[in-house]
Each structure stands twice: as structure tokens, then as C-alpha cells.
Homo-oligomer: A and B are copies of this chain.
Amino acid sequence: MKQRTRIILAMDETDKEKAIRITELLKDEIDAVKINWPLILSSGPEMINKLSKITDVICDLKVADIPNTARLIVENAVARGACAVIVHAFTGEDSLKAAVEAADGKAEIYAVTEMSHPGGMTFTAKHAEEMAELGIRCDVSGFIAPATRPERIKVIRKMIGTKKILSPGVGAQGGKASEAIKAGADHVIVGRSVYDSEDPLSAIREIQKDIRSVL
């Protein structure tokens, strides 16, 4: 995934036509589109192939299974054209390693350290540093760290050297793009505040402006 605008669009939509239309509209304003299971369940796994023809696709599958299942999920997503897959680290070293091996250098694997929603504090936040260390051992490409808690991005940033940080929670969840970038994120992830906007182009350009203010 190239670093141009530093923005990843989270297409948390289940409407196939809208997902394709908004991705087409914003493809020059974003570094990648991120999709997840609800879109695959509503529109079929072929959506990975279709969107990959428009822009880079990050499959945010939050893979959280035993090694063999993790391997099968990643292999399928990569074969369909995904440039990256997001995987949980809390399932342990064997599962995370299986995901990295399945990507086989053809796609990036990002590991979740802690989650951006309130429930993410209960278990994931307690082990974020251990999970970052695990991700480094498993040679992931980078990590997911919440824009809603920039101080946590800083902690992870210090641990992971040149590995990348993708930061969700910008916009509707309350995180600010510039704060996440200042704290050490390489890309911010924005969703509803853009794709549900009456004017998605203006909405994303506002975020670009906010990001440029700290670069």
C-alpha cells in the first residue's frame, strides 16, 4: 500500500452498489479501501476481486481462529486480490505466524493490538504491548492502534521501529486524523463520516487538510 494521502476508507457498508460507487468516487483521494465481513456476507466474496480492480483493498477480517483456519482465510483473500489482511494477535503466535506465512509476501498482514471501541479496554488494551512484541516476532507488516487514544499510538510507535501503524476511529468514533498522525500513525482509517456524508469528496478533503497541517 502506497502512502499518498495517508487515508484509508473503511467501507463499512452492506450495500454493494454504494460500496462500489463511493470507492470509484474517492479512489484518487485515498490510499486504500478497507472492507469487512458484513459486505462479504451481503455481497459475496467476489467484492474483494471487484474492489481490487478499483484501488488497493485491505480485508479487515479480524481473523481470530486456529492456525489452519487463519491460513485458509488469508490465502483466499490474497488470491482474490487483497493487498493486506487485518488479523488479531490475541490468538497467539502460531495463529499469527500462520497468517503471515499464508500471505507469503504477496500481501501485508496487520495485527490488532488494542481495539478502538469501549469494550477494547477490557482485555485487548491490557495486552497491547505484548501483542506488539508478538507481531514483531511474527514479522507482521504493521499494527492497528486506535485514533481514539493517541497516547496508545505513541506507546506502540516506540516499540515497533519502521513497521506501520493504521489508525481507526477517526470521525464518527471521535478520533482526530492529525492527532493520530502526530502520535505516529502512518495511515488513518475513516468510515461513516465520509461515506455517509452528503458530500464525500469534501469530507475527505477536510481530513486531508487536517493531516497536511501536521506534516
Give A residues with C-beta under 8 Å from B: 12, 14, 36-38, 40-42, 44-45, 61-62, 64-69, 72-73, 76-77, 88, 90-96, 115-124, 127, 130-131, 134
Partner of A122, one of B92, B119, B122: B92
> Closest B-chain residue to A94, C-beta based?
B119
**A40 proximity list for chain B (CB < 8 A):** 40-41, 45
> Closest B-chain residue to A91, C-beta based?
B119
Task: Knowing A12-B68, A115-B91, A119-B93 are in contact, say whether A76-B44 is a contact too (CB < 8 A).
Answer: no
Q: How many copies of this protein are present in the complex?
A: 2
* A95–B77 touching, CB < 8 Å: no
* A67–B124 touching, CB < 8 Å: no
Closest Cβ of chain B to A13, distance in Å, is 10
**A36 proximity list for chain B (CB < 8 A):** 65, 69
Closest Cβ of chain B to A116, distance in Å, is 7
**A117 proximity list for chain B (CB < 8 A):** 66-67, 91-92, 94-95
> Closest B-chain residue to A37, C-beta based?
B73
Docked Cα-Cα span, A147 to B72, in Å, equals 23
**A38 proximity list for chain B (CB < 8 A):** 69, 72-73, 76
* A73–B41 touching, CB < 8 Å: yes
Partner of A72, one of B14, B73, B116: B14
